[in-house]
């Protein structure tokens, strides 16, 4: 959900106003995901590198995440959305946020219409490191290690690899997002800044995806 800061700057607003405007974008896109019948939707809310931002912005984002969850969890629950978080739960995650995250997960855990995975304090490399640690701790012999073994130690082994990744705000990078899982994902880049992104932009990205020729390393049949 990139471009919040630039969206705010262009309007002479504080960066945090851009994040606040991102909430409406997120809820509209979730509506679009539900309309399309997409079962798995994952957003990148805070990376393992985002702690490097100014203390005030980090503090704002932590409180903002509590607010977003409190404002929207009942509605998402009613719509059949299962909320989950992917990332590290380390000492820097404030206790009140961790509690709010757990409550949202618990409230929505039986829902199956759509799974909303919020990557929070998430890094693709961190996830791979955590999987390798878990593999070593399991005592698996080296000759048994294959793709399936690694996948089974990722944060959500049953989550299908993403078909489509949308990067907003005119940046052409992966930025440590789902590095293992997006090996064969289709990438769509758009100049639209996240606070301006709406379900129509999602539909346009899906149409672009539908025009792609996916070969997964093979040849066309
Ligand atoms: C990146 O824009 C955006 C973020 C670091 C935070 C985005 C988070 C939300 C919209 C809320 C999500 C929360 C939940 C609980 C789902 P940027 O600041 O990097 O923008 P810039 O590149 O223009 O500076």
pLDDT digits (tens, 9 = 90+) for 149-164: 999 999 999 999 999 9
- The residue whose CA is least distant from atom 11 of ligand 1 is 45
Predicted TM-score (pTM) of the model is: 0.96
- How many beta carbons lie within 10 A of that of residue 206, not counting itself? 17
Q: Are 86 and 130 in contact (CB under 8 A)?
A: no
pLDDT digits (tens, 9 = 90+) for 13-24: 999 999 999 999
* Residue entry with tokens 């932590």: 62
Over 70: is that where the pLDDT of 140 sits? yes
| Two structure tokens written together for 94 | 């404030």
| Two structure tokens written together for 53 | 């931002």
Cross-strand partners of 44: 119
What pLDDT shows up at residue 189? 98
What pLDDT shows up at residue 56? 95
Q: Given ligand 1 and candidates 10, 15, 19, which is best to mutate, with the most ligand atoms within 8 Å of its CB?
A: 19
Give the dihedral of Cα atoms 209, 212, 215, 219; nearest 10 deg: 170
Over 80: is that where the pLDDT of 27 sits? yes
Q: Which atom of ligand 1 is least distant from the CA of 25? A: 10
> Which one of 50, 77, 111, 176 is the catalytic residue?
50
First CA to last CA across the chain, in angstroms? 36
**Residue 7 burial (C-beta neighbours within 10 Å; 0-12, 13-18, 19+):** buried
- Order across the sheet with 114-122: list the strands: 40-47, 114-122, 81-86
pLDDT digits (tens, 9 = 90+) for 182-193: 999 999 999 999
Ligand 1 contacts (CB < 6 A) are: 1-6, 19, 22, 26, 43, 45-46, 50, 65, 68-69, 118, 169
What pLDDT shows up at residue 221? 67
Q: Which atom of ligand 1 is least distant from the CA of 6? A: 23
Ligand 1 centroid to residue 1 C-alpha, Å: 5
**Residue 191 φ then ψ, to 5°:** -80, -15
Ligand 1 centroid to residue 145 C-alpha, Å: 36
Cross-strand partners of 83: 116
Known active-site residue 106: no
pLDDT digits (tens, 9 = 90+) for 48-88: 999 999 999 999 999 999 999 999 999 999 999 999 999 99
Known active-site residue 70: no
Ligand 1 centroid to residue 140 C-alpha, Å: 38
pLDDT > 90 in the chain, percent? 97
Ligand 1 centroid to residue 77 C-alpha, Å: 23
């Amino acid at each position: 959900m990139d471009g919040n800061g630039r969206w705010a700057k262009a309007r002479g607003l504080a960066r945090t106003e851009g994040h606040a405007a991102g909430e409406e974008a997120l809820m509209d896109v979730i509506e679009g995901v539900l309309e399309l019948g997409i079962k798995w939707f994952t957003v990148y809310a805070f990376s393992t590198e985002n702690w490097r931002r100014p203390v005030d912005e980090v503090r704002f984002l932590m409180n903002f995440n509590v607010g977003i969850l409190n404002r929207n969890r009942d509605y998402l629950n009613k719509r059949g959305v299962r909320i989950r978080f992917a990332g590290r739960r380390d000492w820097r995650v404030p206790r009140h946020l961790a509690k709010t995250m757990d409550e949202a997960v618990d409230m929505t855990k039986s829902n199956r219409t759509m799974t909303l995975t919020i990557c929070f304090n998430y890094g693709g490399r961190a996830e791979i490191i955590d999987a390798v640690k878990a593999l070593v701790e399991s005592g698996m012999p080296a000759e048994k290690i294959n793709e399936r073994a690694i996948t089974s130690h990722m944060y959500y082994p049953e989550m299908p690899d993403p078909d489509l990744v949308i990067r907003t705000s005119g940046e052409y990078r992966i930025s440590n997002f789902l590095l293992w899982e997006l090996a064969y994902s289709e990438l769509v880049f758009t100049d639209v800044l996240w606070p301006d992104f709406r379900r129509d932009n999602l539909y346009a990205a899906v149409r672009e995806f539908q025009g792609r020729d996916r070969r997964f390393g093979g040849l066309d049949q």
